[in-house]
A and B are shown apart, each in its own frame.
Chain A
Amino acid sequence: MTTLTTDPAPAPPADPAPAVRRRRRPAVLHVYTLLLIAWLILPIAIMILFGFNDTHSKQNFRWEGFTLRWYVHLFDKSDLTTALVNSLTIALLSTLITTVIGTLAGLALGRHRFRGKGVTNLVLFMAISCPEIVMGASLLSMFVTFNLPRGYLTILVAHVMFSIAFVAVTVRARVVGLDPAVEEAAQDLGAGPWTRFRLVTLPMIMPGVVAGALLSFVLSIDDFVITNFTSGATVTFPLWIYGSTRTGTPPQVNVMGTLIFAVGVVIAVVSARRSLRASR
């Protein structure tokens, strides 16, 4: 993601003569781009708006006036709150585990040559490109075959499984771009393997590690399909919403969605600002 924020635009081809003709076409595309953005934002705007809707029916789709009551009674539906807490804790734990072991794998793949590297890369590619429903179905097949009870733990295990490849690939990309001479210098100056890793390697790959961690958090908290197959009786935030679509989604869901959206946008903007400043 850092690439998106750093480099300033290359100057458009300077060609003063047909300037009038030049400017017309981009204007069309400019308007088009804005319309596309408007389309993408429309459902989100509606989601946010209907979190303020003073509705009295179970179906929250007719505007009945402004209220803050859903923000006040945000945690009134205890099963929804439990689902949200499950989603958050699973995402945190899964991110923690995935970031550690995925980073190690990324280091090995980016730096070392070893037997089985090709197979490892292939497995990572498969894990990224395999349809989610097939991963979910195969995990369920295993749990059924071994008669394992499904719940919080199986969701966690599954989330780590589908996030590993993303973290490993992200870290690998960062490691490949490093200059090995820096670490060799540390070695020449008498740093042991652990010191070298802690003081030299880790700080250098940190942007990749952070990006991988954020990615795995988002993948986990957003996941519906694989969770659906591995959840048993445990409910997460997306599962709860899915279950509510038939009877009507309550406004509290909109409010929670709005708050998660706001936190996500703030984190993204702050980190983009920071990386912009660092690149200057």
Chain B
Amino acid sequence: MAGGLGRARGRGRFTPYLLVLPSGLWLLAFFAIPMVLMVSLSLQTGNLVDGFRQTFHWQNYTDGLSTYGDKFGRSLWYGLLATVACIVLAYPAAYWIAFRGGRHKSTYLFMLLLPYFVSFVLRTVSWKLVLTDNGPVLGPLRNHGVLPSGFHVLDTGFAVVSGLTYNFLPFMVLPIYVALERIDPRLVEAAHDLYASRVQAFARVVLPLSLPGVFAGVIMTFVPVSADYVNAEVLGGPRNTMIGNVIQSEYFDNSAYPVASALSFVLMAILLLGIFAYARALGTQDVLEAAGR
């Protein structure tokens, strides 16, 4: 079946290569080669004025890690917090929509995805407005004494994590919903027929079947959340910066390209290794399959 049509004639042999060629070349030129160049740049020394030389010194890595190790730690910590918050917030809603949404399933899901019709940066700016001390939400609450006058959210780590959670929640809702939706309700019925309590039926039937969705959701949120710098910049103020902010300012403010490249490479290595380790731990045979859903 695969290639059956093409193989009927000899010249069809090259068809798949011709089809893949444009995309392949584009990704080679603007994805693969830049990665190699970034690694090469990370092993150079010098400065913008005198130029950079390939020295293969690991100093950029050791310096970068010792200077910004805490920023790496904070990025992974915020990433973890936001990802867990996304799971905790998304799961019950996805569950309710999948099993009890009835005729309006798609409407509820659509409502959860509405933020995606607003640009990511604008969404973050609007969330900042919500968290602003005298803004349209916290201002009235404060004036009416619901919140103490010293109450303050903006420029804290909580503000950053809440923004990350807000921005990436739908990425978690969708895969969990898809996994739950696939579960045959008769399986739950069968569990009840076999005298499983509601909790048991959930813990032994529904939850295990929905874990692949949670897994896909974690991959789709943890990586972009940990590498994000927009939320930290807009919501976190100067004291809650993440590694993304450092990379950004090393490139643009300091023109310290080698160090910035080294930090980017380490960030990618940590996140990709994290994904594979996580996949192993969960016993998912095929990461591609799990992520491609």
Mark the stretch among B57-65, B132-140, B206-214 that contacts chain A: B132-140
Per a CB cutoff under 8 Å, which of A15, A102, A129, A157 touches B272?
A129
Please report the C-alpha to C-alpha distance between residue A49 and residue B139 in the assembled complex, in whole angstroms: 16
Q: Which residues of A contact B49 (CB under 8 A)?
A: none
Q: Mark A126-162, 1 if CB is under 8 A from B, else 0.
A: 1111111111011111101100000000000110110
B1, A180: Cβ atoms closer than 8 Å: yes
Interface size class of B (residues with CB under 8 A): 35 or more
Interface residues of B in 136-172 (CB under 8 A from A): 136-137, 139, 166, 169-170
* Nearest-neighbor residue (CB-CB) of A25 within chain B: B198
Distance (whole angstroms) from the CB of B7 to the closest CB of chain A:
9
Q: A26, A33, A117, A268: which has the most chain B beta carbons within 10 Å?
A: A33
Distance (whole angstroms) from the CB of A22 to the closest CB of chain B:
9
A134, B106: Cβ atoms closer than 8 Å: no
Please report the C-alpha to C-alpha distance between residue A49 and residue B6 in the assembled complex, in whole angstroms: 57
B166, A138: Cβ atoms closer than 8 Å: no
B23, A138: Cβ atoms closer than 8 Å: no
Q: Which residues of A contact B92 (CB under 8 A)?
A: 29, 32-33
Please report the C-alpha to C-alpha distance between residue A245 and residue B15 in the assembled complex, in whole angstroms: 50
A238, B122: Cβ atoms closer than 8 Å: yes
Interface residues of B in 85-122 (CB under 8 A from A): 89, 92-93, 95-97, 99-103, 105-106, 108-112, 114-122
Distance (whole angstroms) from the CB of B168 to the closest CB of chain A:
12
B126, A43: Cβ atoms closer than 8 Å: yes
Please report the C-alpha to C-alpha distance between residue A113 and residue B136 in the assembled complex, in whole angstroms: 58
A257, B118: Cβ atoms closer than 8 Å: yes
Please report the C-alpha to C-alpha distance between residue A215 and residue B37 in the assembled complex, in whole angstroms: 29
B291, A249: Cβ atoms closer than 8 Å: no
User: Given A9-B101, A138-B34, A261-B118, A32 and B93 touching (CB < 8 A)?
Assistant: yes
Please report the C-alpha to C-alpha distance between residue A122 and residue B292 in the assembled complex, in whole angstroms: 11
Closest 5 CB pairs of A and B: A131-B227, A112-B16, A108-B19, A43-B126, A138-B34
Binding site for A on B (CB under 8 A): 1-6, 8, 12, 15-17, 19-20, 22-24, 26-27, 30-35, 37-38, 40-41, 89, 92-93, 95-97, 99-103, 105-106, 108-112, 114-123, 125-130, 132, 134-137, 139, 166, 169-170, 178, 184-186, 188-189, 192, 198, 219, 223-224, 226-230, 233-234, 244, 247-248, 251, 257, 260-261, 264-265, 267-268, 271-272, 275, 287-288, 291-292
Q: What are 28 sample pairs from A and B whose C-beta atoms fall under 8 A apart?
A: A9-B101, A13-B185, A13-B192, A29-B92, A29-B96, A44-B123, A61-B136, A105-B22, A105-B24, A111-B3, A112-B19, A113-B3, A116-B20, A129-B219, A129-B272, A130-B268, A132-B224, A132-B227, A142-B33, A142-B38, A157-B30, A161-B27, A164-B26, A164-B27, A221-B119, A228-B248, A241-B121, A257-B118
- Additional A-B contact list (19), CB under 8 Å, known A32-B96, A61-B134: A13-B189, A15-B192, A43-B130, A44-B126, A61-B136, A63-B136, A102-B23, A111-B2, A123-B31, A125-B287, A131-B223, A131-B224, A137-B251, A142-B33, A144-B257, A161-B30, A221-B119, A245-B234, A261-B118
